[in-house]
Amino acid sequence: MIVGLDIGSSKTRVLIGEYDENNILGITGVGTAASTGLRKGVVVNIEATLQSVSKAIEAAELMSGREVKSCFAGVAGASVEGINSRGVVAVTGKGREINQADVDRVIEAARAVVIPMDREVLHVIPQTFIVDDQKGIKDPLDMIAVRLEAEVHIITGSLTSAQNLVRCINRAGFRAEGLILQTLAASRAVLTQDEKDLGCLLVDIGAGTSDVLMFADGAPYFSASIAAGGAQVSNDLSIMLSISMDSAERIKKEAGSCYLSHADDDELVVIPGLGGRSPQQVSAARIASIIQPRMEEIFRLVKNKLEQPGYFPLVKGGVVLTGGGALLPGAADLASMVFGQPARVGIAGSMGGLTDEYRSPEFATAAGLVMLGAERLALSLEQERGRKGMSAEGSIKGSKASKPREASGLKKLGQWFKEFF
């Protein structure tokens, strides 16, 4: 059983994945609960957060009929930063043949960057390898070389933010198997390999933040977070229409559109009066005229983030939107206009089970957490079997255990690349 936990600023979502008798991963439990303990991706109220986690997991347990003990949790927000780094080592293997130890050393060299004491490394994702000035190598194992270089994308997070998140999960009675970047998880669920190879942009529009992950040549090259999301849209509606935040959120979901040309000027929407005043009617076009500028601003902030380091020209495969903000009608059309690229709303591919329940951009992160969690657990089991096999082989055949070890190393790298690329 694999559990994905997506703790957002407005909702906590949980998916439970299980393998059936045919060894196919399917979703058997879905849970959702209101979240008030996070602000812009950072825990600000531990008690409220753990209550939200408990309610969401209990709902998923009730649906699946299974008891949850551990989960993979997503992290995002302004506390997460991404940097690119390069490492280089000399190939020291027999006959200058690159082996798994060389690959591990070069990645370790690439991750040796100076980061503040209050931050920790969450992910080190290989982008490409360079073998004796030959660029664009994805799998350097068994190649003959003198020098091996690796380019990696390093994702770091605030140490205290991560500890607070884990503390909430632990106090709710569960164990955090691992923390995974939310946009990395969402990309696993909604992006195709062709989009990653060509170069695409994933924008996860949450309530408090909009998180960004850009791919080029099949690997992540840029990650960032914008301190604006769906809550700012609801706040604009609340102010401009003089209604409560709850009413603004409901009207945004039921009658909102972020592309003015899609809104009907003749369609009227009833808005409740504030403080006992009588309800009023406004046109759907009026609501869209409030929503569009804020959504357009969010997309332009994302574009500016990419243009500053010069990465925007690498986006050739379009834009994919996930998160609750992607549910707004016209979101893809507005994104296409701002970025000048084709855009679509990302929905997790079918994994079997309760397909209608989780196939929504809101559950993209949770679905990706289940997928990555399943791959991590499978890799751990494979490595454990390999260690046991090598131990048994070594005790029987002595020095002849080298071949199974090499095969295990090759399989390890293959699984590793499958996870990230």
46 to 42, 170, 187: CA distances (angstroms): 10, 11, 28
What's the pLDDT at 263?
84
Q: At what angle do helices 230-241 and 284-307 cross, to 10 degrees?
A: 140
Number of alpha carbons in the 13 Å side-chain half-sphere of residue 212 = 28
Strands 343-345 and 201-205: unpaired
DSSP string, 22-65: TS-EEEEEEEEEE--SEETTEES-HHHHHHHHHHHHHHHHHHHT
- Say whether pLDDT at 186 is over 70: yes
Residue with tokens 């690498």: 314
Write the pLDDT tens digit of every residue in 306-362: 999 999 999 999 999 999 999 999 999 999 999 999 999 999 887 777 767 788 999
What's the pLDDT at 52?
95
SS3 274: coil
* Residue of higher predicted confidence among 376 and 291: 291
Q: Give me 333's structure tokens.
A: 């059309």
What's the pLDDT at 274?
81
Strands (E), 197-334: 201-205, 210-216, 219-226, 268-271, 280-283, 319-322
Average pLDDT, the chain: 89
Task: Quickly state the pLDDT bin for 401 (edges 50, 70, 90).
Answer: very low
Nearest Cα neighbor of 147 from 113, 101, 96, 109 is 96
SS3 73: strand
Domain borders along the chain are: 194-347
- Cα(11)–Cα(324) distance, integer angstroms: 10
Write the pLDDT tens digit of every residue in 120-144: 999 999 999 999 989 999 999 999 9
DSSP string, 351-380: -SBSHHHH-SGGGHHHHHHHHHHHHHHHHH
Write the pLDDT tens digit of every residue in 226-263: 999 999 999 999 999 999 999 999 999 999 999 988 88
SS3 163: helix
- Cα(160)–Cα(136) distance, integer angstroms: 37
- pTM of the model as a whole: 0.88
CATH topology of domain 194-347: Nucleotidyltransferase; domain 5 (3.30.420)
Amino acid, single-letter form, for residue 417: F
